[in-house]
Amino acid sequence: MKTKFLLLFSVAFLTCTLGFSQKKQLWAKSYINKKAPSISAVKWLTEQPELKGKFILLDFWATWCKPCKDGIPHMNEFSKEFKDALVVVGISAETEAKVKSMKTPVMDYYSALDTSSALNTAYGIQGIPHVVLIDPNGIVRWEGFPSLPGHELTSEVIKAIVEKYNQ
């Protein structure tokens, strides 16, 4: 009886400890609640958006990355849903020819190249997709792999951030 109790207690303790102590895994340097690096070393494939006074959602991606391509429809939705407050920008370190050769999925948001990898280096990105949500004051309010279980970037998450940090 005592052994059974200790076994059940141990399982319950480990479940609670592991469940509550898990941190969000990042494959980049964390900038959460810090000033974001400048978005200056890019070549725009679309018109350059007006970023002043807007929330900015940077989506670091590549044409060869299946999770990146799977996320494009979600970024399209975010761009439409939050069009008055948010600018979505896809950033690829690939060549212009490579990015333009991708026919599907279609990006319905701004697109830029970082072929020098200046932004990738500034953010310390080691894995993509990597998404960063920046408030109008230039402070990072969300970062990470947008479909990471338990830490997904959703409309509800964006809405809460926009409501909390809107000027």
Per-residue model confidence as pLDDT tens digits over 56-74: 999 999 999 999 999 999 9
CB 58 within 8 A of CB 131: yes
**How much is the pLDDT for 100?**
96
Per DSSP, the three-state class of 56 is: strand
Question: What average pLDDT does the structure give for the chain?
Answer: 87
**Model pTM?**
0.83
List the beta bridge partners of residue 17: none
**How much is the pLDDT for 21?**
36
**How much is the pLDDT for 1?**
52
pLDDT band, very low/low/confident/very high, at 26 (cuts 50, 70, 90): confident
**How much is the pLDDT for 13?**
37
Per-residue pLDDT, averaged over 46-64, amounts to 96
Find tokens 């991606």 and name the residue. Answer: 61
Q: Where are the domains of the chain?
A: 23-165
23-165 has which fold? Glutaredoxin (3.40.30)
Per-residue pLDDT, averaged over 9-38, amounts to 64
Q: What does the chain come to in residues?
A: 167
Q: pLDDT tens digit string along 83-131? A: 999 999 999 999 999 999 999 999 999 999 999 999 999 999 999 999 9
